[in-house]
């Protein structure tokens, strides 16, 4: 019996899954395995790790906080790390005087945003605004509310009949503006939630900032709230601190998680504009946002996130992000030219994706396992999304290490698309 035999792993067919790899240490770009191997974390451990594993400043911030306060109920009580972090988050929010609602993962940040939007409409006398609009193929998390926002025929099929209906618009279609006009014409959209610039889980699909402006413009005209799900895109992934920074119009609510603590501790926030916050004011409790979690604003997580916010805003972090972006920008056209129509290469900021053409794009496609195994055998963790594989590295990756990964990408393609 293996020591992992008592564990039911996520996204895993336990009947035939290969034995999981045991990680005993992580440092910078690398995961160190019990069997002696050293693996490049090409996907930043589910898109969380920003600067590299066990970053000394983040570890030190955590150590310091462990000497002061572990955890405390966050209703009726507050603490310094949560207050300091909120003050810093307000500075990077696109509006003055944002309000920070804490939770502990991306899905809950989204649940809270949706609950805020629905109740905002009720509290402001717009009960008829009941619908949520989303982008077709979007992904917003694993809880029932966030599952409802995504396409329901893939992963979420078993739960389909329990998930509320949403209005889905195709951001890649030529008539997106027309779809927006139609969707908003009945005046019943409460909120529009979207992954800004980069739709991660559905295959690292990238759309221009002008589409964000179109979404927000329609929201503003029709009294709907625009919710930017920056759970993946936040903290430099798309080149700017937030993907929303690349659009002129600003959302009303922003969800952040994953990179918020640099990939060290679970923490999430839902940021709201002051006018959303003020709609929850009232004489009694029924107007308030009645939501919270046991580990809301965990002090250890907040302390690490505060340090991460300092690091991510240093010129050094910015230049690392710019270097990775420039490297991808240079490499992408080269392999596109080399493999022509057999692949589609795309990139935004620090993320580069390669879609293998002529292969069905489902997450259940066996090509997934082939890609995964190939890169792992070459010392790189890649976790493909069906026929799409991508590099989403911690920002500490060097140009030599990028060259190494690129070289393996080319050799994989030579072996599999020629
Ligand atoms: C855009 C987006 N929103 C929300 C989530 C859910 O985050 P979590 O896995 O922390 O619940 C994800 C996860 O991949 C995501 O990519």
| C-alpha 145 to ligand 1 mean position (Å) | 13
Residue 72 and residue 198 share a domain = yes
Residue where one domain finishes, among candidates 312, 343, 373: 312
| C-alpha 321 to ligand 1 mean position (Å) | 21
253-256 and 268-272: which strand pairing?
A: antiparallel
Q: Taking 80 as the threshold, does the pLDDT of residue 418 lie above it?
A: no
Q: Is residue 304 part of a domain?
A: yes
| C-alpha 392 to ligand 1 mean position (Å) | 15
Residue 147 and residue 232 share a domain = yes
Residue 194 and residue 159 share a domain = yes
Residue where one domain finishes, among candidates 312, 342, 369: 312
- Least confident segment among 20-29, 146-155, 338-347: 146-155
Whole-angstrom CA distances from 264 to 57, 84, 243, 250, 308 are 11, 18, 22, 29, 10
From 106, 109, 353, give the residue whose CB has the most ligand 1 atoms within 8 Å, as the site to mutate.
106
- Least confident segment among 256-260, 345-349, 363-367: 363-367
Within 10 angstroms of residue 215's Cβ, the number of other Cβ atoms is 26
Q: Is residue 8 part of a domain?
A: no
Q: Do 74 and 296 contact (CB within 8 A), yes or no?
A: yes
Q: What pTM was computed for the model? A: 0.98
Structure-token pair, residue 358:
């002529």
Residue 291 and residue 180 share a domain = yes
- Give the single-character DSSP code of 199: E
Q: Please give the pLDDT value at position 404.
A: 98
Query: Given the CA of residue 108, which atom of ligand 1 is nearest to it?
Result: 11
Query: Given the CA of residue 107, which atom of ligand 1 is nearest to it?
Result: 11
| C-alpha 105 to ligand 1 mean position (Å) | 8
Residue nearest to atom 4 of ligand 1 (CA): 140
| C-alpha 296 to ligand 1 mean position (Å) | 17
Q: Is residue 324 part of a domain?
A: yes
| C-alpha 2 to ligand 1 mean position (Å) | 30
Structure-token pair, residue 256:
């952040």
Structure-token pair, residue 287:
């107007």
Q: Is residue 364 part of a domain?
A: yes
Residue 394 and residue 284 share a domain = no
Q: Is residue 38 part of a domain?
A: no
Which helix (H) or strand (E) is 45 found in, with range? helix 44-47
Residue nearest to atom 5 of ligand 1 (CA): 141
Whole-angstrom CA distances from 152 to 84, 139, 206 are 39, 10, 21
Residue 287 and residue 214 share a domain = yes
Helix and strand numbers (H, E) in the chain are 12, 16
Residue 210 and residue 79 share a domain = yes
Q: Is residue 161 part of a domain?
A: yes
Q: Taking 90 as the threshold, does the pLDDT of residue 250 lie above it?
A: yes
As beta bridge partners, residue 168 has: 134
Q: Please give the pLDDT value at position 317.
A: 98
Q: What percent of the chain has pLDDT over 70?
A: 100
Query: Given the CA of residue 257, which atom of ligand 1 is nearest to it?
Result: 10
Residue 345 and residue 249 share a domain = no
Which CATH number characterizes residue 411's domain? 3.90.1150.10
CA angle 333, 337, 341 (to 5 degrees): 115
Residue 287 and residue 399 share a domain = no
Residue 356 and residue 242 share a domain = no
Whole-angstrom CA distances from 340 to 18, 337, 385 are 34, 5, 21
Q: Do 375 and 412 contact (CB within 8 A), yes or no?
A: yes
Residue where one domain finishes, among candidates 273, 293, 312: 312
Structure-token pair, residue 310:
């300092």
**What is 266-308 written as a DSSP string?**
--EEEEE-HHHHHTT--SSGGGS-----TTTT-HHHHHHHHHH
Residue 51 and residue 156: Cα distance in Å, rounded?
32
Confidence of residue 1 (pLDDT cuts 50, 70, 90): low
User: What torsion, rounded to 10 degrees, do the Cα atoms 238, 241, 244, 246 define?
Assistant: -70
Which CATH number characterizes residue 84's domain? 3.40.640.10
Residue nearest to atom 7 of ligand 1 (CA): 106
Q: Is residue 295 part of a domain?
A: yes
Q: Taking 90 as the threshold, does the pLDDT of residue 284 lie above it?
A: no
Residue 296 and residue 195 share a domain = yes
What Rg value do the Cα atoms of the chain yield, rounded? 21
**For 183-202, what is the mean pLDDT?**
97
Query: Given the CA of residue 195, which atom of ligand 1 is nearest to it?
Result: 1
Q: Do 361 and 387 contact (CB within 8 A), yes or no?
A: yes
Residue nearest to atom 8 of ligand 1 (CA): 106
| C-alpha 146 to ligand 1 mean position (Å) | 9
Residue nearest to atom 13 of ligand 1 (CA): 141
- List, chain by chain if needed, residues with CB within 6 Å of any ligand 1 atom: 105-107, 110, 139-142, 195, 200-201, 229, 231-232, 257
Residue nearest to atom 3 of ligand 1 (CA): 140
| C-alpha 230 to ligand 1 mean position (Å) | 9
Q: Is residue 18 part of a domain?
A: no
Tens of pLDDT, residues 316-346: 999 999 999 999 999 999 999 999 999 999 9
Residue 188 and residue 106 share a domain = yes
**For 33-58, what is the mean pLDDT?**
98
From 141, 232, 260, 269, give the residue whose CB has the most ligand 1 atoms within 8 Å, as the site to mutate.
141
From 148, 196, 229, 258, give the residue whose CB has the most ligand 1 atoms within 8 Å, as the site to mutate.
258
Structural domain boundaries enclosing 232: 59-312
**For 214-243, what is the mean pLDDT?**
98
Q: Please give the pLDDT value at position 154.
A: 81
30-33 and 205-206: which strand pairing?
A: unpaired
Indicate the number of domains in the chain.
Answer: 2
Query: Given the CA of residue 141, which atom of ligand 1 is nearest to it?
Result: 6
Within 10 angstroms of residue 403's Cβ, the number of other Cβ atoms is 12
| C-alpha 179 to ligand 1 mean position (Å) | 26
């Amino acid at each position: 019996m293996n020591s992992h035999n008592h564990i039911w792993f996520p996204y895993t067919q336990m009947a035939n899954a290969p034995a999981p790899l045991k990680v005993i240490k992580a440092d910078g770009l690398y995961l160190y395995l019990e069997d002696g191997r050293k693996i490049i974390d090409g996907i930043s451990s589910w898109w969380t790790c920003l600067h590299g594993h066990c970053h000394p400043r983040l570890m030190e911030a955590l150590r310091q906080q462990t000497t002061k306060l572990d955890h405390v109920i966050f209703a009726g009580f507050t603490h310094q790390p949560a207050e300091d972090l909120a003050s810093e988050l307000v500075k990077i929010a696109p509006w003055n005087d944002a309000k920070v609602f804490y939770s502990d993962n991306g899905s809950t940040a989204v649940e809270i945003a949706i609950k805020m939007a629905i109740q905002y409409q009720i509290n402001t006398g717009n009960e008829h605004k009941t619908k949520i609009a989303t982008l077709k193929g979007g992904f917003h998390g694993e809880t029932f509310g966030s599952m409802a926002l995504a396409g329901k025929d893939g992963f979420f099929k078993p739960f389909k009949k329990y998930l509320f209906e949403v209005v889905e618009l195709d951001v890649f279609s030529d008539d997106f503006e027309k779809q927006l006009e139609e969707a908003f014409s009945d005046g019943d959209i409460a909120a529009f939630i979207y992954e800004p610039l980069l739709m991660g889980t559905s295959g690292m699909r990238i759309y221009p900032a002008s589409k964000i402006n179109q979404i927000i413009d329609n929201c503003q005209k029709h009294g709907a709230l625009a919710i930017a799900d920056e759970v993946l895109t936040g903290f430099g992934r798309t080149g700017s601190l937030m993907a929303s920074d690349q659009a002129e119009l600003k959302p009303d609510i922003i969800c952040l998680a994953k990179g918020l603590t640099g990939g060290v501790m679970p923490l999430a926030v839902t940021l709201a504009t002051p006018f959303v916050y003020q709609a929850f004011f009232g004489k009694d409790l029924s107007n308030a946002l009645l939501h919270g979690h046991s580990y809301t604003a965990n002090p250890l997580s907040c302390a690490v996130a505060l340090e991460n916010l300092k690091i991510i805003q240093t010129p050094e972090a910015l230049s690392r992000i710019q270097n990775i972006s420039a490297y991808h920008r240079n490499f992408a056209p080269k392999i596109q030219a080399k493999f022509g129509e057999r692949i589609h290469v795309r990139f935004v900021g620090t993320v580069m994706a390669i879609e293998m053409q002529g292969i069905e794009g489902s997450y259940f496609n066996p090509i997934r396992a082939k890609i995964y195994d190939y890169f792992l055998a070459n010392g790189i963790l890649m976790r493909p999304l069906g026929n799409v594989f991508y590099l989403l590295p911690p920002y500490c990756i060097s140009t030599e290490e990028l060259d190494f990964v690129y070289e393996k990408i080319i050799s994989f393609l030579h072996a599999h698309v020629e």
